[in-house]
Amino acid sequence: MSKERVVLAYSGGLDTSVAIPYLAEELNAEVVAVAIDLGQGGEDLEVVRQRAEGCGAVAAEVVDAREEFAVDYCYPAVAANALYMDRYPLVSALSRPLIVKHLAQAAIKHSATVVSHGCTGKGNDQVRFEAGLAALAPHLSVVAPARDFAWTRDKAIAYAQKRDLPIDVTTKSPYSIDQNLWGRAVETGFLEDLGNAPIEDIYSYTADPAQPRDGDTVVISFDGGRPVALDGETKTAFELISELNYRAGQQGVGRIDMVEDRLVGIKSREVYESPAGIALIAAHQELENITLEREQARFKRGVDQRWGEMVYDGLWFSPLKDSLEAFIDHTQKHVTGDIRLHLHAGKATVTGRWSDASLYDFDLATYDEGDTFDQSHAKGFVELWSMPAKLAAERNERVKKGE
């Protein structure tokens, strides 16, 4: 009788490395490790793949999803101006549905019946993984060793040492770090004390914005709401985000220190770096300011916020998110043009705007010669606009006198 197969979301770290032999023993199963390249940099993913095999995986795969992540996940976030709680650009939340998609595909390919991840029961990612799998592959069951088997780090280290697994179990970062092309998330350790300020050692994508340096100016071109070029040079999505990460990061742009509302109901201190994300969203918002009609723009702000909340909450594969995205896509028809940003001292400041689809009319806006705005229409407009409030005020005064 053949063994059950488990597809494991594999990062190459201690927890998921230990999970390979542990799942094999606990479930009497064969484990297939799947690592996803999301532009996180750092360790060679071929080394990661070989480590998975060394830990006992019957198969190990590395999926190059860098361009897919940039085009299908990061760029929709730009179109939605996605900032959870008006600050967080969804660094980790955007990556989880893409990982889930490839886990589900690997499960079909390897005839697996179980998917496993390394999330704990305290975070958002367990929800993102499992809600996504429920939508894409409801026939699969899910096992999370760190959550389901009360797997602590001390237990994991002892387990790895006992079985002589090919991983470093002596070095422990004081932080929990997740990173990809869109940014970097840092939590735990001394950051859990809300009174402690972040130190420079925790940052990797951004330089200290307080250090004196000359600024950098970049022109970002958009076509239908999607970034397509930097300084007039057309680039793929991955290339554009990578270059802007470097240029904005060198100016300290994209640092965020916040207490956020987790889906599981607790508040959590998080430090993020997203140089390209913050710069692109700032540029996109400004281009929308000159190309979207007023009422459309007002309504979209609420749609954007809800889109970001749904992605944060792990509902990427949901009917409402799809509907919100259809509206957002429709609004992007005329969001085409160029935005000039000055990157300096941790800020991305808009200094120029150009669009053939602009709704800004200089002749209407100017107070100088050439003004085409007919001010004689304003008096009647103001009277009609004020009428509901005026009638209510008169009613209130009348009722008050009759008391």
pLDDT for 51-84, tens place per residue? Answer: 999 999 999 999 999 999 999 999 999 999 999 9
Is 204 marked active-site? no
Within 65-224, strands assigned E span: 114-116, 141-143, 176-180, 183-187, 216-223
Q: Is 64 annotated as a binding residue?
A: no
The per-residue pLDDT for 69 is 98
Q: Is the pLDDT of residue 345 over 70?
A: yes
Query: CA-CA distance, 103 to 98, in Å (whole number)?
Result: 9
Q: Is 318 annotated as a binding residue?
A: no
pLDDT digits (tens, 9 = 90+) for 210-264: 999 999 999 999 999 999 999 999 999 999 999 999 999 999 999 999 999 999 8
Name the token pair of 49: 């793949």
Query: CA-CA distance, 202 to 212, in Å (whole number)?
Result: 20
Tell me the Cα Rg of the chain: 26
The per-residue pLDDT for 156 is 83
Q: Is 221 annotated as a binding residue?
A: no
Q: Is 272 annotated as a binding residue?
A: yes
Domains of the chain are 4-174 (3.40.50.620), 177-354 (3.90.1260.10), 362-402 (1.20.5.470)
Is 15 marked active-site? yes
120-137 average pLDDT score: 94
Considering the candidates 49, 51, 66, 96, report the single residue annotated as catalytic: 96
Considering the candidates 176, 318, 355, 358, report the single residue annotated as catalytic: 176
Q: How many residues does the chain have?
A: 403
The per-residue pLDDT for 43 is 77
Question: Can you give the pTM of this predicted structure?
Answer: 0.94
